[in-house]
């Protein structure tokens, strides 16, 4: 109970400081922030990574390890840190709804002497108090993907809206007759969920007049909730041609509902994240595709960026990491060895 009230008090203090006009960067909108750089341009534009000081420790706090995306991001932290001879640790909340637990973990890392923190918040607000405390301790904080801490000085991740844009364009190209589609959203109000959903809806409306979005409901990043929602939508709209899901966990729940309804050949399902279970489902012919955010590479880029920042380099506020819609047709291009994957993604970046 004491810890609960300490966290609530920290949130209120942080809000009061912001209301008083304390010096802080403008609210972050990573999809539109002009001060940005592509991950593939870091070395060309900024030069080599500064040699880290002995004892450099990178602390990462993820949303939860029950979602494989965050485990893969942590793997990227580890391999990225090993490349530069530093230490990287990852902690995560027990579930995607444990906002206070995640905040407590971040605050604990701050007291344990980490050189820099890589935070992936559950909501846009729950880790905001850490920024004020980190500033006092002179510890840089980097927001890594998904939800957005409005006052974060640096953000690393994909253009969230483009996840939905890519899914919409897949339907336009591969379902030329159009039809009814539905969206299974992430947690209501979270930046990534809002942007991904808007990207899908606005693109499919503007670039094709043949589709109707008949439902758009929160799945809360949860497989069972998404299964139940998809089952209801399929009953209400038996002629549905597809779903776009804000992450792969939800997409796999939707695939189960589509299979249970006997509509696997009729209904396409596109997920987001690029988890191994999603790829297994794609190879099995169940999940149609996923907008891969390449979490291991993102974790490596986050570590590199952190070392550049603590090494004194002026890094743009947003470092944009890669994404690609991967289906059975282009699977081999993106899921080969790491070197081949990087080459393909660098080629994609050059053709933006």
Say which residues have a Cβ less than 8 Å from residue 320's Cβ, sequence separation at least 6. 36, 37, 38, 39, 157, 158, 159
Domain assignment present for residue 75? The answer is yes
Does 256 fall in a domain?
A: yes
In-domain check, residue 8? no
Residues 113 and 195 in one domain: no
**What integer pLDDT is reported at residue 23 of this predicted model?**
56
DSSP states of 44-79: HHH-SPPPPPTT-EEEEEEEESSSHHHHHHHHHHHH
Secondary structure (3-state) at 39: helix
Pairing verdict, β 242-245 and 179-185 = parallel
- CATH number where 313 lies: 3.40.50.2300
What is the pLDDT at residue 24? Answer: 67
What pLDDT score was predicted for residue 9?
A: 44
Look at residue 69 in the predicted model and tell me its pLDDT: 93
- Asked if residue 9 is part of any domain, the answer here is no
**What pLDDT score does 18 carry?**
43
Q: Does residue 153 contact residue 317 with C-beta atoms inside 8 Å?
A: yes
Same domain (yes/no): 266, 313: no
Give 106-130 pLDDT, tens digit per residue. Answer: 999 999 999 999 999 999 999 999 9
Residue 22's pLDDT is what? 45
On whether residue 130 sits in a domain, the answer given is: yes
| DSSP string computed for 75-136 | HHHHHHHHHHT-EEEEEEESSTT-HHHHHHHHHHHHHTT-SEEEE--SSSSTTHHHHHHHHH
Q: What's the structural domain count of the chain? A: 2
Provide Rg for the chain, Cα atoms.
20
What's the confidence (pLDDT) of residue 206? 97
Whether residues 306 and 283 share a domain: the answer is no
Q: Based on the number of CB atoms within 10 Å of its own CB, is 328 exposed (0-12), middle (13-18) or buried (19 or more)?
A: middle
* Co-location of 317 and 255 in the same domain: no
Same domain, 205 and 313: no
Are 214 and 181 contacting, i.e. CB atoms less than 8 angstroms apart? yes
Place of tokens 């998809």: 230
- Nearest to residue 169, comparing CAs of 223, 136, 215, 207? 207
Alpha-carbon distance of 24 to 21, in angstroms, equals 8
Q: Is residue 125 domain-shared with residue 166, that is, in the same domain?
A: no
Residues 123 and 167 in one domain: no
DSSP 253-268: HHHHHHHHTT-TTT-E
Residues 167 and 246 in one domain: yes
167 and 251 assigned to the same domain: yes
Where the chain has pLDDT below 50, the residues are 1-22
Give the residue among 162, 147, 166 at the shortest CA–CA distance from 28.
147
Distance, C-alpha 199 to centroid of its chain: 15
Asked whether residue 125 is domain-assigned, the answer is yes
Return d(Cα 299, Cα 350) in angstroms, integer: 21
Q: Pick from 252, 276, 292: which residue ends a domain?
A: 292
Residues 188 and 209 occupy one common structural domain: yes
306 shares a domain with 284: no
Q: Are 231 and 225 in contact (CB under 8 A)?
A: no
Q: What is the pLDDT of residues 225-246, one digit of tens each?
A: 999 999 999 999 999 999 999 9
Q: What is the pTM of this model?
A: 0.88
Enclosing domain of residue 281:
160-292
Is residue 245 situated within a structural domain? yes
Report pLDDT for 330. Answer: 94
Give the tokens for residue 251. Answer: 């997409």
Identify whether residues 208 and 118 lie together within a single domain: no
Strands (E), 147-258: 154-157, 179-185, 211-218, 242-245
- Domain presence at residue 20: no
CA distances from 204 to 47, 159, 289 (A): 40, 18, 17
């Amino acid at each position: 109970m004491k810890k609960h009230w300490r966290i609530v008090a920290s949130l209120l203090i942080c809000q009061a400081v912001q209301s008083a006009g304390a010096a802080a960067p403008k609210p972050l909108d990573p999809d539109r922030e002009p001060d940005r750089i592509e991950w593939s341009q870091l070395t060309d534009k900024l030069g080599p990574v500064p040699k880290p000081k002995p004892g450099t420790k990178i602390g990462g706090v993820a949303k939860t390890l029950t979602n494989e995306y965050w485990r893969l991001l942590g793997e990227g932290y580890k391999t990225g840190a090993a490349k530069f001879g530093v230490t990287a640790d990852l902690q995560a909340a027990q579930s995607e709804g444990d906002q206070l637990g995640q905040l407590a973990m971040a605050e604990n890392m701050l007291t344990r002497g980490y050189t820099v923190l890589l935070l992936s918040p559950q909501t846009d607000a729950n880790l905001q108090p850490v920024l004020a405390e980190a500033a006092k301790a002179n510890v840089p904080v980097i927001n890594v993907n998904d939800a957005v801490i409005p006052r974060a000085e640096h953000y690393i991740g994909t253009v969230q809206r483009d996840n939905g844009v890519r899914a919409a364009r897949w339907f336009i190209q591969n379902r030329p007759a159009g039809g009814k589609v539905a969206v299974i959203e992430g947690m209501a109000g979270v930046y990534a969920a809002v942007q991904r959903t808007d990207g899908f809806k606005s693109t499919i409306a503007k670039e094709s007049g043949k589709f109707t979005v008949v439902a758009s409901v929160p799945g809360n990043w949860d497989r069972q909730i998404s299964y139940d929602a998809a089952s209801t939508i399929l009953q209400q709209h038996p002629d549905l041609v597809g779903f776009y899901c804000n992450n792969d966990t939800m997409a796999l729940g939707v695939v189960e509902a589509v299979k249970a309804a006997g509509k696997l050949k009729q209904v396409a399902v596109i997920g987001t994240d690029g988890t191994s279970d999603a790829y297994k489902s794609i190879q099995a012919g169940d999940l149609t595709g996923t907008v891969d955010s390449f979490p291991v590479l993102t974790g490596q880029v986050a570590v590199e960026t952190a070392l550049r920042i603590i090494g004194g380099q002026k890094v743009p506020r947003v470092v944009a990491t890669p994404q690609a819609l991967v289906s059975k047709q282009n699977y081999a291009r993106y899921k080969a060895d790491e070197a081949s994957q990087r080459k393909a993604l660098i080629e994609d970046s050059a053709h933006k």
